[in-house]
Amino acid sequence: MKSAMFCLFFIASVGWIEYSDAADAARAPECTEYIESGQWVYKFNEWVLELKPTLCGRQIGPDETAYMFYEIAKKFSGDQYWVNTRGIINQLTCHLQIARTKAEWNLEPWRPYVGHAETVLAGCNVVTPKPQPPFE
């Protein structure tokens, strides 16, 4: 339930889903499954979620990103390693934008959240967090 509620928040807050009319909004997702396999692995002293998207999952447009994220969250968010959900979303959308053809996608909860644009600029591998804005 927590994952479903976050997915709805994700859709509402990101605003990537745009529909021209009610009929479009009611259409079902094109993929029946977005993730072929996934597992948590310990690499380079950090936990990483290794995902292998399905062929359909690799070809989705922005209107199905939330569905893909929901499947990932449903399968993996119950794990103790699932933290920094916003950073995970940015890494997912980054992979969809610049790394669709990579054999595996690594989502790394330890990477700082810096927003989508900066995640893309870092090649999906952000290391340095944004500085905190001054306290006013």
- Domain boundaries, given as residue ranges, for the chain: 2-11+32-121
pLDDT for residue 11: 46
Beta bridge partners of 43: 46
Tell me what pLDDT residue 129 has: 87
pLDDT in tens, 31-47: 999 999 999 999 989 99
Give CA separation, 71 vs 18, 76, 116, in Å.
20, 9, 20
Enclosing H/E stretch for 40: strand 35-43
Per-residue confidence band for 17, with pLDDT thresholds at 50, 70 and 90: very low
Rounded to whole angstroms, how far apart are CA atoms 81 and 39? Answer: 11
* Planar angle of CA 77, 4, 8, nearest 5 degrees: 120
The whole-angstrom separation of Cα 116 and Cα 79 is 24
Give pTM, 2 decimals. Answer: 0.77
Residue 38 sits at φ, ψ, to 5 deg, of -165, 155
- The pLDDT of 98-108, averaged and rounded, is 97
Average of per-residue pLDDT across 60-76:
96
